[in-house]
Amino acid sequence: MYSEKVMEHFQNPRNVGEIDDASGVGEVGNARCGDIMKLWIKVEDGIIKDIKFKTFGCGAAIATSSMVTELALGKTLEEAEQISNQAVAEALDGLPPIKMHCSNLAADALHAAIQDYRRRNG
């Protein structure tokens, strides 16, 4: 039911972990629904220089988390803010319909991390 790309990211997720001195941290989802994504960014000169995630969730939740870190790494904050959940799903060659809402939150986690960064650097 998952595309090969989803399975590839699920099997070999990129950028798993935490950043100790992160510039921003975002967390979305809740354990009740079965999906929580937490994402750390390191920002230098307005560019995302490092990014890491940890996710509790299904295959789609882990694959979208991995993909969003790949899409956002090296981007400016403005560019990263343009990455949508839809774009993440498309980059993975699509998700099963039932997963589009419940497990496709990775871009929201990225945006939350950027917001956190902006708040800290108000």
Residue 102 interacting with other proteins (CB under 8 A): yes
Amino acid letter for position 86: Q
Tokens 């917001």 correspond to what residue?
115
Q: Are 6 and 60 in contact (CB under 8 A)?
A: yes
Residue 57 interacting with other proteins (CB under 8 A): yes
Residue 33 gets which letter from DSSP? T
**Which of 5, 16, 47, 100 is close enough to bind other proteins by CB under 8 A?**
16
What are the structure tokens assigned to 122, written together?
């108000």
Residue 94 gets which letter from DSSP? -
Q: Are 58 and 99 in contact (CB under 8 A)?
A: yes
Residue of 33, 93, 115, 120 marked catalytic: 33
Nearer to other proteins by Cβ, of 62 and 71: the residue is 62
* Active-site residue, 102 included: yes
Residue 70 interacting with other proteins (CB under 8 A): no
- What are the residues binding other proteins (CB under 8 A)? 2, 7, 10-11, 13, 16, 27, 31-38, 54-62, 98-99, 102-103
Catalytic residue list: 33, 102
